[in-house]
Amino acid sequence: MQFSVKMRSAKGGPHEKGGRHISGAERILDENDVEKGVVAMLRRARNHQRGKADFISIKIEEIKEDEVIFKPLIAVHSCIAKNVAQGHAIAKEKLQSVGVSALAIERGFSALLALKDSIRGAMLFDAFTGERLDNFGNRGVRVTKMDCAGAAEYEEKLAKVGLTGEHVREALVLASKVASAPGMVAELCWADDPDYVTGYVASAVGGYIRIPIMKEMGSGVGGRIFFVKHDCDIKVLSEYLQEQLVLITFGGNVDVEVGTNFRKKTAIN
Ligand code: PML
C-alpha cells in the first residue's frame, strides 16, 4: 500500500494567516516508509535555513494504485554561469528557444525579482502575452502528489553523475511532472534557501537546464513561474498539478550533459 505525504511549514502561524513560508515537501511512500518520511519532514521544517517553523501541516492520504500515472524524467543539462547576470541571460535564451515570448520572459523575470519573499507555489504566466493567469496571489499553484519511482535507484543514479542533495532530487521530480502537464510550455525557477543559488529552466522539449547561479548568495527569495500556452485550460492544468499522482521514471537511457556546449555526456542508466 502507498501513501501521498505532503508537508508545508511556516513561521509566525499558518500560511493562510500570514505566516512566512519555510519549506514544503512531497513524497509518495510505501506504508513501511511513511513514519521515517514524516520524521524527516518534521526535522526539515524545524531545522531549515529559512527559520524554525512554528506551523507544520502534514497530510497523509492512502493511494489507490490505479490513480498513479508514470512520466519520464526529463533530460538534464548543466550550464556554466559565473554570476547572476550570466545565469539570467542563459535562462532567458533557453526560455525563448522553447517557445516563450520575449515579452513573457521579461514579465516573468520582473515578477520573480519583485517578490518580497518566496511564495509557496508557482505563478502561472501566458507564454505569449506574459499576462499572469492564476489568481492565487502570494500562494501560487503548488505542485503536489509526486515522487520518483524507486527512490534508492533514483538517488544512486543521480549521485553517479554528481547530482546530490534534496534540492536537485526534488526539483527534477517536480520539473518532470510540470513538463508533462497539459498546456505547459516551460518553467523558470530558483531556490529560496539563502545559501542555495542554483536555478533552472525546464520543459518537455528542452529538458532540465541547470543554471548554477540565479540569485545572490544570502537571498532568501526564490520562486517558480510556469509559462503556459495561450489557450491553456487553467482548471485542467491546476488539477493535474495538484491532484494527479505522478511517479517519475528513468524510462531507459537518460543523459546528463555538463557544460555550456555539453562536452561531457554521462548516461544515467
Ligand atoms: C528549490 O529547492 O526550491 C528549487 C531548487 C532549484 C535548483 C535545483 C538544482 O538543480 O540544484
Structural domain total, the chain? 2
Look at residue 263 in the predicted model and tell me its pLDDT: 34
For every residue of the chain, DSSP letters joined together read -EEEEEEEEEESS-GGGTPEEEEEEEEEEEGGGHHHHHHHHHHHHHSBTTB--SEEEEEEEEE-GGGEEEEEPPPEEE---SSHHHHHHHHHHHHHHTT--HHHHHHHHHHHHH-SS--SSEEEEETTT--B----TTT-BPP-SEEESSHHHHHHHHHHTT--SHHHHHHHHHHHHHHTSTTEEEEEEE--STT---EEEEETTTEEEEES-SS-TT----EEEEEE-TT--HHHHHHHHHH-EEEEE--S-EEEEETTTT-EEEEE-
Query: End of a domain among 63, 84, 115?
Result: 63
Instruction: Give the span between the Cα atoms of 144 and 207, in whole angstroms.
Output: 20
Which range of residues forms the domain containing residue 10? 2-63
Burial of residue 34 (CB within 10 Å: 0-12, 13-18, 19+) is middle
Which residue among 142, 195, 196 has the greatest number of ligand 1 atoms within 8 angstroms of its CB, and so is best to mutate? 196
Q: What type of residue sits at position 17? A: K
**How do the pLDDT tens digits run along the chain, 269 residues long?**
999 999 999 999 998 898 988 999 999 999 999 999 999 999 999 988 888 999 999 999 999 989 999 999 999 999 999 999 999 999 999 999 999 999 999 999 999 999 988 888 999 999 999 999 998 887 889 999 999 998 888 888 888 888 888 899 999 999 999 999 999 999 999 998 899 999 999 999 999 999 999 999 999 899 999 999 999 999 999 999 999 999 999 765 445 555 443 434 444 44
Q: Whose CA is nearest to atom 4 of ligand 1?
A: 191
CB 171 within 8 A of CB 122: no
Look at residue 54 in the predicted model and tell me its pLDDT: 94
Question: Is 78 in the same domain as 49?
Answer: no
Q: Does the C-beta of 76 come closer than 6 Å to ligand 1? A: no
Question: Is 122 in the same domain as 237?
Answer: yes
Query: End of a domain among 12, 44, 63?
Result: 63
Taking only the tens place, the pLDDT of each residue in 171-202 is 999 999 999 999 999 999 999 889 999 999 99
Question: Is 187 in the same domain as 168?
Answer: yes
CB 71 within 8 A of CB 252: no
Question: Is 43 in the same domain as 111?
Answer: no
Question: Is 42 in the same domain as 166?
Answer: no
Query: End of a domain among 63, 78, 112?
Result: 63
Question: Is 114 in the same domain as 243?
Answer: yes
Q: Does the C-beta of 146 come closer than 6 Å to ligand 1? A: no
CA 138 to ligand 1 center in whole angstroms: 20
Look at residue 264 in the predicted model and tell me its pLDDT: 41
Question: Is 109 in the same domain as 242?
Answer: yes
Question: Is 232 in the same domain as 104?
Answer: yes
Question: Is 46 in the same domain as 29?
Answer: yes
Q: Whose CA is nearest to atom 7 of ligand 1?
A: 199
Question: Is 59 in the same domain as 164?
Answer: no
Question: Is 82 in the same domain as 18?
Answer: no
Question: Is 97 in the same domain as 24?
Answer: no
Instruction: Give the span between the Cα atoms of 47 and 17, in whole angstroms.
Output: 22
Q: Does the C-beta of 199 come closer than 6 Å to ligand 1? A: yes
Q: Whose CA is nearest to atom 3 of ligand 1?
A: 191
